[in-house]
Amino acid sequence: DGGITQSPKYLFRKEGQNVTLSCEQNLNHDAMYWYRQDPGQGLRLIYYSQIVNDFQKGDIAEGYSVSREKKESFPLTVTSAQKNPTAFYLCASSIDDSYNEQFFGPGTRLTVL
Amino acid sequence: AQKVTQAQTEISVVEKEDVTLDCVYETRDTTYYLFWYKQPPSGELVFLIRRNSFDEQNEISGRYSWNFQKSTSSFNFTITASQVVDSAVYFCALSETTGGGADGLTFGKGTHLIIQP
């Protein structure tokens, strides 16, 4: 089945540690996105990528990094510089840009202990 | 700057009632896209509808309908004869064209809809 997978579903991290969230899609989409969701809040854009080897900062990129070495993969690293990393992280993809429907993965819930 | 406002934080109705979720947006673009997504308790967002700024026709899909009014910058969502399975958080979102379409969606804070049996 085509879709977006994110792993792990739950992730616990100690303060000061970097952690990488996985996002894979087999929809052959060019564009991929990372969003952060906090309780009672909407989604906020962290990073986005329109093509392989290119990505741009979103509204809240500080403390995060990404790579786009393959079309189907867009991993997100939450670094120790991110001051409040506990949140629900959602990955999405669309055919070529955000004018089109974005398909979302199941999300990763990150908790910093 | 773009902004999406969903003033209703939480709505609770009894099953079979009709319910309308409000969405008001702000944009300087003349061409833009509006979306509604549903987020059930599992967390994954489910796409419901996309509407471009030049298409003001209302749309109906089964029990769901959408009312787009550019004059009031609103894109409201109505569920007719609500069911318990409709319980979820609903998000309205906006995509402008000035960024070339590559800069993601701007989401409202969502409306938590509770349908009581």
B97 touches A: beta carbon within 8 Å:
yes
- State which residue of chain A sits closest to B32, comparing Cα positions: A99
- Per-residue pLDDT band for B1 (boundaries 50, 70, 90) equals low
Predicted local distance difference test score (pLDDT) of residue B2: 61
Respond yes or no on whether the N-terminal peptide bond of residue A8 is cis (omega within 30° of 0).
Answer: yes
B35 touches A: beta carbon within 8 Å:
yes
Could you tell me which of A40, A20, A37 has the C-alpha nearest to residue A90? A37
Beta-carbon count within 10 A of B27 CB: 20
pLDDT exceeds 80 at position A77: yes
Q: What is the pLDDT of residues B28-73, one digit of tens each?
A: 888 899 999 999 998 999 999 999 999 888 888 999 999 999 999 9
Q: HEC profile for B69-106?
A: EHHHCEEEEEECCCCHHHCEEEEEEEEECCCCCCCCCE
Q: Which helix (H) or strand (E) holds B112?
A: strand B111-116
